[in-house]
Structure 1
Amino acid sequence: MSVDPSAVIHPQALIEDGATIGAGASVGPFSIIGAGVTLGPRVEVKSHVVVTGHTDVGEDTVIFPFASIGEVPQDLKFDGEETRLHIGARNRIREHVTMNTGTAGGGGETRVGDDGLFMAGCHVAHDCIIGDRVIVVNNSAVAGHCHVEDDVIIGGLSGIHQWVRIGRGAIIGALSMVTNDVVPYGLVTGPRAELDGLNLVGLKRKGVARADIQALRVALLTLKQGEGTFHERAVRLGEETQSDYVRRMVAFITGATDRSFLVPK
C-alpha cells in the first residue's frame, strides 16, 4: 500500500494492501479502496464508495456515495481474467453509478475520458470507450463495447445498445433506446430512437460558425435523399465538402462498425 502523506483517509475507510493513494486525495468513511486501485492527485472518494479491480482514477475526480467502480463485468463470458478500468481527470461520478472493467474479448479495458459528468444511477459497461466532456444523465445505461465520442449528452432513462457508436457532439433525448450508430452532432429522440436533426443548441454553444452549421444541414439532407446507398452518399459527400465538421461526420460513417446507422427522418 502506498499512501501519500498529504492524503486524508478517514479511520473508518478500508484501504487494501497494494492500493496507491495520490497527493491530496481523500477517502471518506466506510469506503473501500481495493488492492489494484490507483487514486490520482486530489481524487475525492466520499463515504460508502467501493473502488476495486485494476482501476486508475485521474486527478481531481470526485466519486459520490454508493458508487461501485471497477467491479467485474456483467458478462457471462467473463472468466475472471485480469482486465482494467481507466477513468480520466476531473470527472464527477454521482451516487449509485456503476462502471465495470473490460473483458478479454473486448480488449481488456474500459476507458472514461476527462471532465465527464455521470449522474446518479447511470451505468458504464465493460469495454466501453467514453470520450471527454460526456454527460450521462440519471439512470441511463451504456452497454458493453460502446464508443461514445467527446461532448456527447445522453438523456435520462436512456439505453445505449451494445457495440453502438455515438459521434462527437451528439445529444440523445431522454427515454430513448438507441440501437444503431449516431452520427456526429446528431439529435436523437423517441422511445425507439430516431435521428431527428442536428444538435443545434450544442453547436451554437460551442461557437461553431454558421457556414459549418449550414454545411451540416445540407449533409443530413444529402444523406437522407441522395442517390445510392447511405454509405455511398457519405463517401460522395466527403469528396465534395469543404467543411471540417462534415468531413468528421463522413469519417465516422465510413469507419468500422458492427451496427447500422440511425438515418434522418
Structure 2
Amino acid sequence: MAEPGIHPSAIIQPGAEIGEGVSIGPFCVVGPQVRLGDRVVLKSHVVIEGDSTIGEDTVIFPFASIGQDPQDLKFRGEHTRLEIGARNRIREYVTMNPGTGGGGGLTRVGDDGLFMACSHVAHDCQIGDRVVMANSVAVAGHCHVGDDVVIGGLSGIHQFVRIGHGAMIGALSMVTADVLPYGLVHGPRAYLDGLNLVGLKRRGATRAEIAELRSLLAGLSEGAFRDHAQSLAGQDHGEKAREIIDFILGPSDRSFLKPK
C-alpha cells in the first residue's frame, strides 16, 4: 500500500526524505538523495534525482526533470548539489541541473519563483527570489540572476552572465553580457533600453529614486561603464543607485549590455 499522499505508481527510492503533507502523483520518480520539504506537490511524471533539495510548498508540474546530470562535457560524475527554495512553481518540461566540480558544485534557486513550461536552469547557476522565467527561457551555466528578475519567453542567457536585481529581459532576446540592476533589455542581440520602470513602480520606487537612476544611466551611457562607476563610487547615492554602481564594479567575466 502507498503512503497517504503518494500514488501507488510512484517510485520513492530508499533514502529519500519526504516532509509532512507531501503529495506525489502518478508515475513520479524520487531518487535516494532527494529531500522534499513540507507540502511539496509533484503532480505526475516528475523525475527528481541527485542530491536535490526542494523547499516547502513548491509545486512541480508533469514531466519536469530536476537534478539530472548537468549538460557539461567536463562533468565526470562528481558529487554536486541542487537547492530549490520554497513556494516555487515549476511548470511542465522544466529542467534544472546540479552544479559541476569546476563551477562550485551547487546550483541554487531561490524562493517564490515561476518557471514556465520548457524553461531551463543550467549547472552552477544562482537564481534569486521571485524570478519569473517565461516559456522556453534557457539560462546557461554559471549565470547569476538577481531577485525580482523577469525573463521573457524564448530568451537565451549566455554562460557566466550576471542579471542584476529587478531587471527585465524582453521576449526573444539573446543576452550575451551583464545586465544592470533595474535595466530593461531586449532584442535578438539584446541591448540596454533604459530602466525597467514597470518593475520599479511595482516595488514602490519613488519619483526621486527613478530620476536618480535615469541620471545615473545617462551618465554611464557616455563612456566606459566601469570608469564612470568608479568615479561615482565615493559619492553619496540612494540605495538603488548604489546597487547599480556596486554591480558594475563587482567581479564578472563579461562586459555590459549598453544602449544602441
TM-score above 0.5: yes
| TM band (smaller chain) | over 0.9
Alpha-carbon distance in structure 1 between the residues aligned to 2:252 and 2:198? 27
Tell me whether 1:254 sits opposite 2:256 in the alignment: no
* Aligned twin of 1:177: 174
Shift of the alpha carbon at 1:232?
A: 1.3
Q: Which moved more, 1:138-147 or 1:232-241?
A: 232-241
1:210 matched to 2:207: yes
Letter in 2 for 1:173: G
Counterparts of 1:93 and 1:243, CA distance in 2: 35
Structure 2 counterparts to residues 39-118 of structure 1, below 5 A:
39-118=36-115
2:258 corresponding residue in structure 1: 263
Return the alpha-carbon distance in structure 1 between the equivalents of residues 44 and 226 of structure 2: 50
Name the SS for the 1:197 alignment partner. Answer: strand
Give the Å deviation of 1:241. 4.0
Matched residue SS, 2:221: helix
Match of 2:22 among 15, 20, 25: 25
1:151 aligns with 2:148: yes
TM-score (norm 2): 0.98
**Do structure 1's residue 129 and structure 2's residue 126 form an aligned pair?**
yes
* Other structure's SS at 1:248 match: helix
Q: Give deviations 1:15-54, integer Å, cap 9, x for gaps.
A: 0011011000110000000011000000001100001110
In structure 2, runs of 5+ residues without a counterpart are none
2:197 aligns with one of 200, 204, 208: 200
Counterpart contact for 1:219–1:237, Cα < 8 Å = no
What secondary structure sits across from 1:211 in the alignment?
helix
TM-score (norm 1): 0.96
Specify which of 227, 233, 240 is matched with residue 238 of structure 1. Answer: 233
Counterpart residue type for residue 29 of structure 2: I
Query: How far does residue 264 in structure 1 lie from its aligned partner after superposition?
Result: 2.8
**Cα distance in 1, alignment partners of residues 253 and 237 from structure 2:** 29
Aligned counterparts of 2:232 and 2:210: Cα–Cα separation in 1 = 15
SS at match of 2:135: coil
**Count of residue pairs brought into register by the alignment:** 259
CA contact (8 A) 1:220 1:264 kept: no
- SS of 1:203 mapped into structure 2: helix
- Cα separation, 2, equivalents of 1:155 and 1:215: 27
Is 1:16 the equivalent of 2:8? no
SS in 1 for 2:246: helix
Q: Name the aligned partner's letter for residue 203 of structure 1.
A: L
Q: CA deviation at 1:244?
A: 1.0
Query: Are positions 1:120 and 2:123 aligned together?
Result: no
**Cα distance in 2 between the residues matched to 1:150 and 1:33:** 29
Q: Is the 8 A contact 1:152 1:171 kept in 2?
A: yes
- The percent identity for this pair of structures is 66
- After TM superposition, what 4+ stretches of structure 1 lie above 6 angstroms from structure 2? none
Shift of 1:263: 1.6
